[in-house]
Amino acid sequence: MEISQERIRKFWEKCGFRYVHETIHFRYYYKEHYWQYPNGDNKQYSPPIDLNNLFKYAVPKLENDVAIKIFKGDYSWIVELWKDNIIARDHDKDPATALFLAIEKVI
């Protein structure tokens, strides 16, 4: 599944990132766009949607007692977020995309 850049931007902003776009005057006006990471680093691109970044930045934003279940189905990876019962469930051929889609529903 292809995820729009707008959804990715909103997701990472909920995880503590900041998309900065500003106009700077230095002889000429120009626009600068960059991502400010939670640790203060500035980078040109948002972090990729992969399991490492999702567990580093997005999973800590979930409530404390949420359990994550990731398993391989017949045709796709399935991710379930549990509290007392299932609070989010999604699937995709890529486990990182499935986790992104499930977390996106609850943060």
Q: pLDDT tens for residues 42-86?
A: 998 999 999 999 999 999 999 888 999 999 999 999 999 998 888
Q: Are 46 and 40 in contact (CB under 8 A)?
A: no
Q: Are 17 and 5 in contact (CB under 8 A)?
A: no
Query: DSSP letter string over the chain?
Result: -PPPHHHHHHHHHHTT-EEEEEEEEESEEEEEEEEE-TTS-EESSPPPSSHHHIIIIIGGGS-TT-EEEEEE-SSSEEEEEESSSEEEEEEESSHHHHHHHHHHHH-
Where is pLDDT greater, at 25 or 38?
Answer: 38
Where is pLDDT greater, at 30 or 33?
Answer: 33
Q: What is the per-residue pLDDT for 25?
A: 61
Q: What is the per-residue pLDDT for 57?
A: 96
Q: What is the per-residue pLDDT for 30?
A: 61
- Residue 1's pLDDT band, with cuts at 50, 70 and 90, is confident
Cα R_g (the chain), whole angstroms = 16
Share of the chain above pLDDT 70, in %: 92
